[in-house]
Structure 1
């Protein structure tokens, strides 16, 4: 009806239990992973999509998702009914499968059947892309290869090679390539598995019991691929870690099988063989067998290899072969190994250098080989390794230094090459073994007096004193090193210890610098000679060796002077021309003198201790008056009287404070303009002057005595005397002190009141 309003029909009301749509956004992976358990397809699709984008950003994100538990729900969602959820889940799974830990979990969750089932033609192409990507990642694992093949996965993969999508093709080809590796020779992989299993003791016993050793040897003997041979040799080396197995392998002629493999041209085989030889050489019989089968020479030749791995393995094998085996060491030398190894010391990596140094140390135990090694200039070649930061290298090279410096030539070469500062520096190493080896090398080098003196200048004594004061660092090696250095330098020994035994000889150049404190450097005579004269205690020096001096006649013959020439020519009535000529010659001589003066400034002669003629005369007199005596006691008495007379005669014990020895010494210092006084020039000497002279003369005429420093300038000599034989044998020698001051020649038994009075104020 026109104009009549029609009542609008009311819309049906929404159910009371319905929930309005709610957009969900999250910036946390934990929240998104929780959404994978949602019952709503839209939420699941968005969650899978978000996880895919997050996983694409890197392996760290994939690890995070794995830790949050995303893998298990994703493996379920790839079979979801909803197409979008299924597609997005595959995208996430395909990307995450590139992670090793994720692959292991997927394999455990048995994801492969579900993935293969989605390779059907009617499935979405995006699903194909990420499903094949997932399989390509899983197929690198041997177990997964088998499962893919058993689940008939190869057929759909071959079909997808004709897919229009290039990514599907690529992933399918990669997966197929991994699968067909299974059809290759499995021996190499099987041997690799056996090698890993041999880490377990029970597995080793099982393989031995089942005849596994014989089978391993067959792979070595039978011609096959280098990879198979390499893995077989590695397995043998692993088995040979047991002493019982080494014996069994030796009985089965394993040495010949390994030596035959050295004839191959494969570097991996060479490396594996050398490593096996190193292990098998722990058996003495195997060591000898390798030599008898001429197996040492080809290993030596491998030191020429350009491959560092081969070179290091060869050096390791030779180190084991030569350890405690002189014949093998000789065989290495006969193969001209010294030349190759010295070259390696100069320019090779630390691992190889360490083994080479060990080989040379083993060889150096034989004198002939040691000399050969030195001849090949091994010591200069050691300078670079001695500066290494690798502890193993330093341990082995310091051992080699100790071995080579047994020879005088070796010590001289180390000194001339500048190796002593490096050796002394290693005494301060915090590594116990390096410090110990350095101490041993120092003790060997100290057998040479010039070398010992140089090490003392470099501070070796102070370092060793510090070490020996430490309870933690002190060792027998440090004690021996310190003692050897002191024994090689009696002057420093006397200064530091205050005692010289009858075996410590005071040769020319000996001096008494006074008592030095522990840890402080004792100055050399040359250092003292450069000092300005001072009020301190004079330094007493010993030098009875005449210096070579040219006679005046020889000097005149070599360089005649002007007055001699004038006398030959005649001075009176000489012509004017002669005068002019003489004047010109004088100018030439003047210029020559100036040139020589400049040359002498630029080339100063090294300082040397002046010759002591008075001391030399005392030596001659002692040889005439003391040596002819029949009894030791008579010799000591005669020598004591000689010393007493030379140094001012006897001094009354009550009047010794009036004996002007101090004034006399001061006058000598001023006269000589030096703090060093030759002992023969001292005509008024007290206890320590006389005791030193007695010791110096006794050492030169072969009379045994010691020199002991006391307090307050008291010094004395101790001698050993036996009483006359009465009961058929000599009693134990007794210690006596020789009186050089008050009753010259009197022998006072140590410990008696008279001896104690002589020793103290």
Structure 2
């Protein structure tokens, strides 16, 4: 509208101009779109496109038009007969479709997209094609638009325009449309199966002189090659020159602006085993290595990332080994360019999975380079030093030479510093450092280097941290170290049992399993004492739920009991034929809530009421085992007797008068039965640990064991009651005798040989102790504070064999307790297990064992004709 003039001919400011749109007048401009005049429509649409384009970074103007429902009015003119109106309508529609809600309004009616698609297929005007393709690119950003475009069946037209259009903008928009379709699985198959689809046309656009078109083509190629499950796409790409074209672009300085994108495509493509093989067979690995040498610093990390990703696959590692890329990884590690360290370290870690490559890398200074980077606090942990740790762990796992280098003082110190200064290092690094320790256990030399008190102490300190997985891994390291005998004593010297006890109370099945395995591997006599003092044994016995959850809970408890038979008798109420009483074995006359250690018993103040029986064969001061005990130390190592004398503050053997009587008993039995170390095959005397598996190794046992059992029973009864049983062995008489002993010795600890008036408990103890030392398989059971008995496992000979008076041999592995030794009623007799006579000694079957924290209950039995007890 022309400006108005007044009568004096002066100009006034226009009140309104529909072709100079402002947010206040936009409503009028939208209303003008309903005009029938082509000139008005042309000027209005032109003004709208100008108004919408004024805010390229701000969408305020387009939001105003959208809120005025301008799209509905613009759609009426996209197929207007006037070409200029058609151009401006499509341009304005494309601008409004860039709004988040714009495509939804257009796609609300599927006819709208078909009208635009018709223009793309029928029109040849370059502006119409540009704006129509731009609208389609915007509409297909969502799943609804992509589905409607596929239904419109114009994919062939899009491919044709992309290949043959002289306008790069049309080509770019068509590529963008295809890229949008590839984002939706229901549409992508229609694109790749279309007869017009071909790789050469897309690959040719990657080398276009127009950067935007080049970027769009590369993006589309990356989307296609990332479809690893689409066998048709993968097969056709391998058949094309795609990989070679990518390398050609990398080698062209003219296309340096898209090198990062090209490397991104290659990084995506080498995500499968087959694609990695194809890259190698195409000769591209050598071309990538050449590019790595001459590339700009910013491109080197991207190129190296492609090679590193190939090392994740078996065929990729083989290809990298054949091209010497593993040595390139090693050469790049000491470089000052920290951007290359991450992938170089990961490449080394992955290449160690290929043995020839690992051996070749180990011949370089790779371990020193890794440890140098690891000790550099200026290097970032994520992911440079983490990958360095991973590479170090992998090398130490399979290459002995690398493991030996890793435990050298300087290199091993950098590895240990991770957990020494754990507050400054991430937990993931601590995990990997412990994993290195686990891998080092594979070799004797590296294991021996870790057998130091300081290192054991560090591992124990790691167990005190709150991270469960780290605890489990550290526990496994300690368990592996316990294969060496010295490690057990270092562990005990550093109070490792205290840390095990603390962690064992954490309710975590995996941690408890690992700790139980550690107990089995590490427990010693001193360690068993410590577990008793800490209450670990009591906790393990009482925790019945853990017994069902943790499979090695019971074996761990048995391992402790094997080194502490005193505790087993107190908590289990029995000692089996494979449980051997050791020097210092002690038994309480009456049990309390907790079973005390010998140190606690000795420190009990007077008056002394309840006696404690102790087994001491050797005179004070303690001497190494002599011929009195058939169990000599294994391989001449330091005996547990000597270690007990130097243990840290724990009383292994109490200061009691010399038990010369007990020693005399044993010497006399040796004169009668001979030296068991020379004549019996029941046990292996070269090992101080007696187990069922050792007995199974024995070939035979003598049929004379039954007579030995009877003679021993007579002898025990004679020592406890006199030759003619003249001593009062009733319960009051026994108690009075024990009280006199405690008063005379001024201690509640009484050597068993000092007891000359004994009841069932005292006799059974003496029988078990002596039977263990003459090679007689004997089990001890206790059902009350004073009621105990022994069962022996001896060959049961037929009558006709007894008459022959010949000694025969029988398989030792088949021995089971089969006779109850009568030490109180018919003294010296052996009664078959389960017989009436045996039941008179053992009591009813339902009689409870006498245990810690389990007072004896009254047994109510059903009487029958075979059971009169």
Displacement, 1:691? 1.3
1:311 equivalent in structure 2: 385
Contact 2:277 2:319 in 1 (8 A): no
Partner Cα distance (1:752, 1:729) in 2: 26
2:295 and 2:660 map into 1 onto residues whose CA distance is 84
Determine whether 1:81 maps to 2:158: no
Rounded to whole Å, the distance in 2 between the matches of 1:208 and 1:79 is 56
- On the 8 A contact 2:456/2:490 being kept in 1, the answer is yes
Specify the alignment match of 1:333 in structure 2. Answer: 407
8 Å CA contact retained: 1:452, 1:488: yes
How does 1:109-508 map onto structure 2 within 5 Å? Answer: 150=212, 186-199=258-271, 207=279, 210-219=282-291, 222-225=293-296, 227-293=298-364, 295-306=366-377, 307-309=379-381, 310-333=384-407, 337-348=411-422, 349=425, 350-375=427-452, 377-446=454-523, 448-465=524-541, 469-470=545-546, 473-476=549-552, 478-508=553-583
1:336-735 correspondence runs (5 A): 337-348=411-422, 349=425, 350-375=427-452, 377-446=454-523, 448-465=524-541, 469-470=545-546, 473-476=549-552, 478-513=553-588, 521-531=594-604, 538-548=611-621, 610-613=654-657, 615-629=659-673, 631-649=704-722, 660-669=733-742, 675-700=748-773, 703-710=776-783, 713-722=786-795, 723=797, 730=810, 732-733=814-815, 735=818
Q: Residues 651, 521 of structure 1: CA spacing in aligned structure 2 closer, same or farther, 3 A cutoff?
A: farther
Deviation of residue 658 (structure 1)? 7.2
Q: Are the counterparts in 2 of residues 612 and 680 from structure 1 also a CA contact under 8 Å?
A: no
2:396 and 2:436 in contact (8 A); partners too = yes
Q: Does the Cα contact within 8 Å between 1:387 and 1:422 map onto a contact in 2?
A: yes
Moved more, 202-211 or 659-668: 202-211
State the 1:254 CA deviation: 3.2
Match of 2:821 among 732, 735, 738: 738
In the TM superposition, residue 494 of structure 1 has moved relative to its aligned partner by 1.5
In 2, are the aligned partners of 1:297 and 1:335 still within 8 Å (CA)? no
Note closer, same or farther for the CA distance 1:208–1:414 as it changes in structure 2 (3 Å cut): same
Is the Cα contact below 8 Å between 1:464 and 1:481 reproduced in 2?
Answer: no
In structure 1, what is the equivalent of residue 33 of structure 2? Answer: none
> Cα offset for 1:278?
1.9
Structure 2 distance, partners of 1:105, 1:444, is 70
CA distance in 2 between counterparts of 1:643 and 1:78 reads 121
**Partner residue of 1:749 out of 811, 815, 832:** 832
**Residue 199 of structure 1: CA displacement?**
4.7
CA shift digits 1:525-567 (9 cap, x unpaired):
3333444668986432223433349xxxxxxxxxxxxxxxxxx
* Mapped partners of 1:78, 1:292: distance in 2: 75
Contact 1:614 1:681 in 2 (8 A): no
- Tell me the distance in 2 between the aligned counterparts of 1:231 and 1:196: 12
Between the two proteins, the alignment pairs up a number of residues equal to 574
Q: CA deviation at 1:415?
A: 3.6
SS in 2 for 1:718: strand
Deviations 1:476-511 (A, max 9, x none): 3x3332221221211111211222234433223221
Quick one: distance in 1 between partners of 2:538 and 2:254?
A: 69
Give the counterpart of 1:42 among 24, 35, 39.
Answer: 24
Contact persistence 1:415–1:451 (CA under 8 A): yes
Give me the whole-angstrom Cα distance separating, in 1, the residues matched to 2:399 and 2:839. 58
Given that residues 330 and 348 in structure 2 are in contact (C-alpha distance below 8 angstroms), is that contact kept between their aligned partners in structure 1? no
- The 8 Å contact of residues 619 and 658 in structure 2, kept in 1 or not, is answered as no
* CA contact 1:533–1:669 (8 Å) conserved in 2: no
Q: Structure 1 residue 317: deviation in Å?
A: 0.9
Distance 2:255 2:477 in 1: 53
Q: CA deviation at 1:346?
A: 0.7
Structure 2: gaps spanning 5 or more residues: 1-20, 29-43, 64-96, 104-129, 132-204, 215-252, 623-648, 675-703, 845-869
Report the alpha carbon displacement of residue 684 of structure 1 after superposing the two structures with TM: 1.8
Q: By how many angstroms is 1:368 displaced?
A: 3.5
The 8 Å contact of residues 650 and 742 in structure 1, kept in 2 or not, is answered as no
1:382 aligned counterpart, secondary structure: helix
CA–CA separation in structure 1 for the residues paired with 2:348 and 2:45? 54
CA contact (8 A) 1:346 1:384 kept: no
Indicate the residue corresponding to 1:588 in structure 2: none
